[in-house]
Structure 1
Amino acid sequence: MTPRFSLLDQLTLAVFAVQAAFALHIGFNGPTTPLPLHFGPDLQPDRWGDRVEFAVVCGGLTLIGFIAATGLALAARLAAKEGDVFRRRSLRTGQGILLFAFAAIGLMIAWLSLGGAPLEDRGAILMGGLSLIFLVLGGFVGRVSPNRLVGVRTPWSYGSRLAWDRSNRLAGRLFFLLGLAGVIAAPVAPQPLALHVLTGAVIASAALSAFESWRVWRADPDRTSL
């Protein structure tokens, strides 16, 4: 049985409380000059807004993350009460990954919109932050048990435990390697080309992992029919 309010739950509450406070602070005390709210493929701002709109964007992102993390936490507690240790562990893993991802995204948004970073720095910030997220995701996704929230979720991986394990193990390795390479290359790689290459590699890795789930499912004699 997990604690009623675990350390991960406390960290979740603290991170999203800080993000909410930051959004309120910007809304009332932020810069009065226009702030970039969106960047195009060339990493140049293509949409601007005032501090209130920026605060609404940050606050909305915080609310979405908090609702998702709370849902995972509640589902993990329910799994613990039912004695499903593997499902609880997967849900807690998902909660931790989601918390880290939203914290990293929040920092990147604040840095890009408020820091006035030049083009090369924007690319390095985005590439480094996204690579770090995939590095953490890759370190955990290969060990999660079947669930509806985290991992390679295809009809074939749900129809075969072997397909789930192998496709998620492959995705974990690919994401970890991509994340590690991205973190190392981010400070020196030419931008925005390097960021586009990383994005393409992530999409290709996800597609390859989905294909692996189908390939293993097709060969598994214990598979269930779709």
Structure 2
Amino acid sequence: MIRKGFLYALPPLALILGLSIWGWTGTAAGAEIPVHFGLDGAPDRMGGKVEGFVLLPAMALFLCVLFSLMPLIDPRGENILRSAPAVLTVWAGVIWVLAAAQALITLTALGHMDSADGPGQFIGFACACLLAVLGNVLSKTRPNWLIGIRTPWTLSSDKSWDVTHRWGGRLMLAGGGVSAISFLLAPPPVAFTILGISTSVMVVVSVGLSYWVWKNDPDRDTYSAASE
């Protein structure tokens, strides 16, 4: 799984590094780089070259190392390996979103993109697509401590984990799909509102469902302090 993970992450990682080098060499020393964008697409915070062209590559490399260590550091590491399709999708998907963010920063810094090009929609669409893709594989995760919908109840009941991830994945897929379409058809503020509502509904329903299934699972784990 680890070898596949690095293989899948290599294209977006190479893209991030290439964009960072292009941006670093193409901007003057001391230049202010747009590093955050408002819902209207206009830059609303500036930073230096290190923040603009080093932070995201470093974060991407760190995440690759973290994903590769998951089977070793999770107490249920064997379930991480059993969840390989989902783990690999999350691994590659997150790096691709970071690549989209780096492209936005670099192209804006070099003058190849401005607020009229809809950069807010660009990154929002990428996040919505990631949400839909993750929803499609969420049900393939097995109980673990590092990836998935981790509530006290899914971690204490394998049945709660299975049911929550099956229905939570469907909600995530639907919400991500609707949000992605909204970024193509609606103004950015409306699309981001739809994305926020979709994510909130998925979280609230998943947490509530995880508790309800756990409460009705006779095989659930319960914990209490040992009496003296």
| TM-score, with structure 1 as normaliser | 0.82
The structural deviation recorded for 1:162 is 0.9
Number of residue equivalences: 216
Q: How does 1:44-193 map to 2 (within 5 A)?
A: 44-72=42-70, 84=78, 86-91=79-84, 93-115=86-108, 116-118=113-115, 121-193=118-190
Greater than 6 Å deviation, 4+ residue runs: none
Match of 1:31 among 27, 40, 43: 27
User: Percent same amino acid among aligned pairs?
Assistant: 25
Given residue 30 of structure 1, which amino acid in structure 2 is its aligned partner? G
Gaps of 5+ in 1: none
Amino acid at match of 1:46: D
Instruction: Provide, for residues 76-100 of structure 1, a one-character-per-residue CA deviation record: whole Å limited to 9, x for no partner.
Output: 9x95xxxx4x541315522331222
> Which residue of the partner structure matches residue 16 of structure 1?
13
Deviates more, 1:169-178 or 1:195-204: 195-204
Opposite residue 181 of structure 2, the aligned amino acid is I
With the length of structure 2 as denominator, give the TM-score of the two structures: 0.81
Structure 2 CA distance, aligned partners of 1:131 and 1:39? Answer: 17
8 A contact 1:91–1:149 mirrored in 2: no
Gapped runs of 5+ residues in structure 2?
Answer: 224-228
Question: Is contact 1:16-1:66 (8 Å) kept?
Answer: no
After superposition, the C-alpha distances for 1:30-66 in whole angstroms (9 at most, x for unaligned) are: 3335321112455432211243431122233223322
Aligned to 2:213: 216
Shift of 1:103: 1.5
Relative distance call for 1:161 and 1:7 in structure 2 (3 A) is closer
In 1: Cα distance, 2:211 partner to 2:51 partner = 44
Letter in structure 1 aligned against 2:60: T
Task: Give the superposed CA RMSD.
Answer: 2.7
Pick 1 or 2: higher relative contact order, CA cutoff 8 A, min separation 6.
Answer: 2
In 2, distance between residues paired with 1:92 and 1:16?
A: 19
Deviates more, 1:11-20 or 1:62-71: 11-20
Q: Deviations over 1:81-128 (max 9, x none)?
A: xxx4x5413155223312222222322332255242325712321221
